Amino acid sequence: MIFLEAGATNTDKPFALYNNLLAGGTFSGTGSLAAGAAYANVIGPQTFDFWEPIGKTGIWQCTLPAPLFMDCVCIAAHNLDKVGTGLVLQTSADLLGVFTNIGPTLAPQLLANGAAPLGWIFLGRAVQVLRFYMGGAPVVAPQVGICYAGARVIFPGDVQPPYVPANEALDVEFNANITMGGHFAGGTITRQSIKQDVAFSPLARDFVQGDLVPFSKAYREGETFFFGGSPSYMPADLAYVWRTDGAGELRPAWLQGGRFADVKMTVSGYGA
């Protein structure tokens, strides 16, 4: 689920968040941590480890060397729907300790979202410190496996058919058990993930030869990122994804004498 803050711009267009600025920061917080549940685990890219405060309450914080521009924060591989309280997400432009809330994100919203990724898009601002914690009295300890923060790459075109949003794009591998007599004897799910084929309406040359270039390199090299098809119209469409095995590179196919280009990609993602 993507939450749109007042002043957020370009929220009707597809976006990717791939350059995780938190990776260049210093991590700290309050409260004791569970074994192996380090603050730095949330940077990923792996989704199997996480931050977890033992006492159910605790602050996760990242301090950057200098303020950097951000307009989006995304979280994946979490259990925040089970914690029973709201999430407090805050930013500060400096080291003076004055924080601005993003949200609030209330317990009913987290419960309704389940284990699916969470995203917040807000009016771009300079951020030097980002932190989050659970408000109130959590029922269980929160676990957060992935957190990205930075500036979105905003695609100036729309997603095109046969695009399927992430919340409906579950790819489940199932093995049926069939007896020699042809009877169905149950089955086993062997793998579950997100899989999406993404095609955009023609993209302008300036974008394809500008902002798309570093993202194309990250996609080609298999880096992970968050993707949403249209936060305004499909707020549940958010996934933590990577280039699908065997999928082609992001290769623009030029149209109208080179003024526009068709761009397509195939991604697989974390299937909560």
pLDDT digits (tens, 9 = 90+) for 224-264: 999 999 999 999 999 999 999 999 999 999 998 889 999 99
41 & 133 share domain: yes
Average pLDDT of the chain, as a whole number: 93
31 & 110 share domain: yes
Specify the pLDDT at position 180: 87
Specify the pLDDT at position 175: 85
- Verdict on whether the full-model pTM lies above 0.85: yes
Specify the pLDDT at position 42: 95
237 & 130 share domain: no
CA–CA distance, 69 with 92 (Å, rounded to integer): 12
Domain count, the chain: 2
Given a cut of 70, is residue 140 above it in pLDDT?
A: yes
Between strands 2-4 and 144-150, the pairing is unpaired
Given a cut of 90, is residue 209 above it in pLDDT?
A: yes
Q: How many helices (H) and strands (E) are present in the chain, helices listed first?
A: 3, 17
Is 11 within the bounds of a domain?
no
CATH number assigned to the domain comprising residue 44: 2.60.120.260
170 & 200 share domain: yes
DSSP β-bridge partners for residue 133: 88
Is 195 within the bounds of a domain?
yes
pLDDT digits (tens, 9 = 90+) for 191-203: 677 899 999 999 9
Specify the pLDDT at position 190: 66
- CA distances 254 to 11, 75, 242, Å, are 26, 35, 24
* Residue ending a domain, choose from 125, 150, 175: 150
139 & 210 share domain: no
Residue 49's domain comprises 20-150
95 & 140 share domain: yes
